[in-house]
Amino acid sequence: GWGGPPQPPYGGGGWGAPAGPPAGKPRRRGGLIAAVLVAALVAGGVGGGIGYWAAGQDDTASTTVSASGDPQALNRKPTSVSGIAQRALPSVVTIDAQGAGGEGGTGTGFVYDKQGHILTNNHVVASAADGGKLTVTFSNGKKYAAEVVGRAQGYDVAVIKLKNPDDATLTPLPLGKSANVAVGDATIAIGAPYGLSGTVTTGIVSAKDRPVASSDGGGTNASYMSALQTDASINPGNSGGPLMDASGNVIGINSAIQSAGSGGGSDPFGGGSQSGSIGLGFAIPIDQAKRVADDLIRTGKPIYPQIGVQVGMRENSDGATIAQRGNGGTDAVTPNGPADKAGLKPGDKITKLDDTVIDSGPTLISEIWQHRPGEKVTLTYERDGKQHTTKVTLGQRVGDS
């Protein structure tokens, strides 16, 4: 397993990986997957036949034309995919995580600042967080030992730092604004799919604000994000790598895919046996990831906004219903918590957060987690067949435990 998220910030409730996409708004949750790379040469027979035919021909009358060899003719402008990749690759690293018990795997990260901080996914480094070993490899082949600065299981974000970065070339990737991204914008992903470091793929932003619940495949741990969806090809090993825009600015952290073999559920990159990319990739928006990373660098712990309720997490319906009773007989609405102060009660069905339709518990979490503690949001809910609205000032929980 790659580790998992905290206890629900709403006071408890089922965190199990959803069995399928939520109903209501046309949104889909993604899958976190892994598979085995198998490549085979299949053109042997055809190649042999062509070779025999060509050997028997007169090649003295060839009319082929050679290229001029002028590099300028290739038009590798700084704003081209090639130009962006050449600038970004030295700042993208491959992360090898080895746990104390021998478990581990490979993922991706990128240089966050000149102090040697690397931004990546929690599930990439979780196996090495307690007594394990982290090794970071740059595109020039140089390797550095690293340590975990902080992890946010619920956000699936982690920050690590090089232990001895003195001779490392640290050029932080420029961070864009994921809030300004539009559907159809070009995307560039860099990572190490199946260990193939420095792989560059392209696509577009297929959707925004896609609620994604991803787990380690065990059904007990989950992370939630309101993701950027892209059709850029990403696979196991791309986890933690940058998703960039057409200017080379980071707009997200590649974290999950929906796989044809995942049965609609979610598993982290690096575990399981499902198939690879089918063009449904999901990235944590950089606006959220930056806020989480800064908290981790400053305090070593994540900060989660919360409203203080327990909601159903498995049902796919037209809202997120507050439970009648919490786990272990606790109150489903935390006494004197944000929701309690706003007048919410057990059985209320939350259907909107500000202008965003809420179609399930995971969607509610992913939307709340885009905000900061102390911010005010408007919740629309149904009670006894009637619709109501109320303003809630978000509370907070520090840490994953």
Question: What amino acid positions are annotated as catalytic residues?
Answer: 123, 156, 239
Question: 104 forms bridges with which residues in the sheet?
Answer: 98
For the record, the structure tokens of 395 come out as: 């509370």
Q: In this structure, are residues 275 and 259 in contact, taking their beta carbons and an 8 Å threshold?
A: yes
The three-state (H, E, C) secondary structure of the chain, written as one string: CCCCCCCCCCCCCCCCCCCCCCCCCCCCCCCCCCCCCCCCCCCHHHHHHHHHHHHCCCCCCCCCCCCCCCHHHHCCCCCCHHHHHHHHHHHEEEEEEECCCCCEEEEEEEECCCCCEEEECHHHHHHHCCCCEEEEECCCCCEEEEEEEEEECCCCEEEEEECCCCCCCCCCCCECCHHHCCCCCEEEEEECHHHCCCEEEEEEEEEEEEEEEEECCCCCCEEEEEEEEECCCCCCCCCCCEEECCCCCEEEEEEEEEECCCCCCCCCCCCCCCCCEEEEEEEEEHHHHHHHHHHHHHHCCCEEEECCECECCCCCCCCEEECCCCHHHCCCECCCCHHHHCCCCCCCEEEEECCEECCCHHHHHHHHCCCCCCCEEEEEEEECCEEEEEEEECEEEECCC
* Distance of alpha carbon 19 from alpha carbon 382, whole angstroms: 25
Q: Is the dihedral of CA 285, 186, 281, 143 positive or negative?
A: negative
Q: Are strands 277-285 and 303-306 parallel, antiparallel or unpaired?
A: unpaired
Question: Angle 105-147-86 (CA atoms, 0-180°, nearest 5)?
Answer: 70
